[in-house]
Amino acid sequence: MKNDINEDYDIYVARRKQLVAELKEMKITNPEVLNAIENTPRHLFIDQSLLAFAYENKAYQIGCGQTISQPYTVALQTQLLEPRAGEKVLEIGTGSGYQSAILAEMGMNLFSVERQYTLYSIAKTRLNDLGYNNVHCYFSDGFTGLPEIAPFDKIIVTAGSASLPQALMHQLKIGGIMVIPMGQQQNMYIYKIKRISMADFRSEKIENCAFVPMISGVESQPL
């Protein structure tokens, strides 16, 4: 864990342990994912009015029409990604920065894209203050990805897309994995996509989910 800057440190450590126990019962089995959840101070990624609920397995609003996903969803997407320390990972949708922190705890070299300037700015400062120096934040269109940095070992998308974004597919290494929510708002599923060759991809439908929609373009930067 990086700098857990809160006077109620012991209380939050205990609550994280309880959350990890709950996630184990929900079939999160990867020990590195569970360790990252236990070591990441989620209470520093939500509104201070919600501190008492920081380690509930629930999603919360973070502004700009976006949410911080429930811990189970974060853990599931991370587990499906099969992350290994040192891998180059693209994250689409920085949001609060919590998913970014989980991947950083696991030793990823993370490149995270956010289209909402307010969220981008807050998350970048927060992650830097917490010492996550292996997270590189970008204010950009998630549908575009980061072609100048590609290819990536893994890609994780934290907003729901109606279909598989072609630009992101081509930024994934052969043998790489993409985890992405896809479908319509009332019929959305998490998919695990593996790139088999230059032209071939294998898709696995995992489970029903709910995410805010993935939107093209960026919100204008404040003057």
Q: Mind giving me the DSSP string for 7-49?
A: TTHHHHHHHHHHHHHHHHHTT---HHHHHHHHHS-GGGSS-GG
Whole-number Å distance between alpha carbons of 136 and 134? 7
Q: Give Dmax over CA atoms of the chain in angstroms.
A: 53
Residue 69: active-site member = yes
**CA geometry: angle 199, 204, 205, nearest 5 deg:** 135
Q: Determine which one of 69, 100, 112, 161 is catalytic.
A: 69
Is the CB of residue 60 less than 8 Å from the CB of residue 53?
Answer: yes
Q: Please list the active-site residues.
A: 69
